[in-house]
Amino acid sequence: MATNLENKITAINATLCQWLAVDEDQILGQHIKALLTKPSQILFLGNILPTLQQNQKTEENYLQFKVQGAQPQPFMVNVKQIEHDGRMYFSYALMKMDRRYLIEEQLIKERKRAEEISREKERLNCELQSAQQQLIVKQDELLRLNKTLQLLTVTDSLTGLPNRRAYDQEIERKLAYFKRHQRCFCLIIFDIDRFKHVNDTFGHDSGDSVLKQIAKVLQVTIREIDVLARIGGEEFAIILPNTGLQTAAEVAERCRSSIHHATFVCGQVTASFGVADSHKNDSKEDIYRRADESLYQAKQQGRNQVVMTSTVECQ
């Protein structure tokens, strides 16, 4: 199935029509949510669509589609953005998923996991019986591995920066601190200008090199208390505690200039920046939205510049 970027169906094959017990003429032109059950509409609009719009693809989503004259049918859905005849579309691949088989598959996985845990427990018991010193060594190793695993869950594997999960956690902490102590903080959102052109022209290895070099350039540009994170693709965020809007804009300008004057494998690279400060009763989505709107304005005004949200700085 295919939709335009307004999520209206533009193409659907005969197999899916048969599965949903509908005619093609009934479907074309409708918004995709018309095919979904209410819970799946909420999941699609609230989670899957934003992910698709941000990353141009999303995989292994489970949605329930209405079936005319029958119970809703669960599907596994993969979606990616494509270009066809000069226009952009969302291309959907759907696979029927029988609920019973899903449950059985999950039970099998859990049983295997329980068996693995049981075997691991027996192995550890043997080690405990063989030597108390080995127990101490294993405990130390386990603590080290847990710390490593915890670090991996909040670290971007390419750049070594905090990832989106770490960014979300830090924003939540800063909002809670702001609510208690009224200490202002600011958020900078920026992304690399025409990054797709870098990948398409010089290859993804060069694109990865650009991302890693930008991380290194900015880590020496910002303060130690500031948090630089890669939050997706070529998009980055900087959280600046105890900082007003004007100062944050100056920091963003220094970062923009550092990138602009750095030398990359593909030549010159620029980035556009949006800046926003914290407001009373903000959610993490609120402050991100304001910074992202400023970033969008910077893009519209010609890229390679800083735009801050027009507002009274917090006290």
- Is the pLDDT at 39 greater than 70, yes or no? yes
Instruction: Please identify which residue in the block is written with the tokens 């958020």.
Output: 187
Give the chain's domain count. 3
Let me know whether 29 and 147 are in one domain.
no
In a domain, 203, yes or no: yes
Instruction: Please identify which residue in the block is written with the tokens 């200008």.
Output: 193
In a domain, 236, yes or no: yes
Q: pLDDT of 142-198, one tens digit each?
A: 666 556 555 558 899 999 999 999 999 999 999 999 989 888 899 999 999 999 999
Let me know whether 149 and 213 are in one domain.
no
- Is the pLDDT at 206 greater than 90, yes or no? yes
Let me know whether 149 and 175 are in one domain.
no
Query: Angle 284-300/164-181 helices, nearest 10 degrees?
Result: 110
Assess whether 235 carries a catalytic annotation. no
Residue percentage of the chain with pLDDT more than 70: 90
Let me know whether 28 and 144 are in one domain.
no
Other Cβ atoms less than 10 A from the Cβ of 4: the count is 13
Dist. CA 246–CA 184, nearest whole Å: 12
Let me know whether 147 and 171 are in one domain.
no
Let me know whether 83 and 138 are in one domain.
no
Dist. CA 315–CA 313, nearest whole Å: 6
In this prediction, residue 315 carries a pLDDT of: 44
Let me know whether 145 and 168 are in one domain.
no
Beta bridge partners of 275: 188, 308
Let me know whether 140 and 170 are in one domain.
no
Dist. CA 128–CA 136, nearest whole Å: 9
Q: pLDDT of 1-36, one tens digit each?
A: 999 999 999 999 999 999 999 999 999 999 999 999
Q: Any idea what the Cα angle at residue 258 is, between residues 304 and 313, rounded to 5°?
A: 70
Dist. CA 221–CA 206, nearest whole Å: 23
List the one residue out of 296, 154, 139 whose CA is nearest residue 230: 154
Do the strands 57-67 and 306-308 form a parallel or antiparallel pair, or are they unpaired?
unpaired
Let me know whether 47 and 124 are in one domain.
no
Q: Which two tokens stand for residue 124?
A: 């550890």
Where is pLDDT greater, at 68 or 149?
A: 68
Q: pLDDT of 266-305, one tens digit each?
A: 999 999 999 999 998 899 999 999 999 999 999 999 999 9
In this prediction, residue 183 carries a pLDDT of: 87
Q: Which two tokens stand for residue 230?
A: 């890669």
In this prediction, residue 174 carries a pLDDT of: 94
Q: Of these residues, 141, 234, 235, 293, which one is catalytic?
A: 234
Print the domain residue range for 77. 2-97
Q: Which two tokens stand for residue 157?
A: 């594997």
312 DSSP assignment: P
Domain harbouring 58, CATH code: 3.30.450.20
Let me know whether 223 and 298 are in one domain.
yes
In a domain, 103, yes or no: no
In a domain, 265, yes or no: yes
Q: Any idea what the Cα angle at residue 238 is, between residues 194 and 81, rounded to 5°?
A: 40
In a domain, 107, yes or no: no
Q: Any idea what the Cα angle at residue 279 is, between residues 274 and 284, rounded to 5°?
A: 65
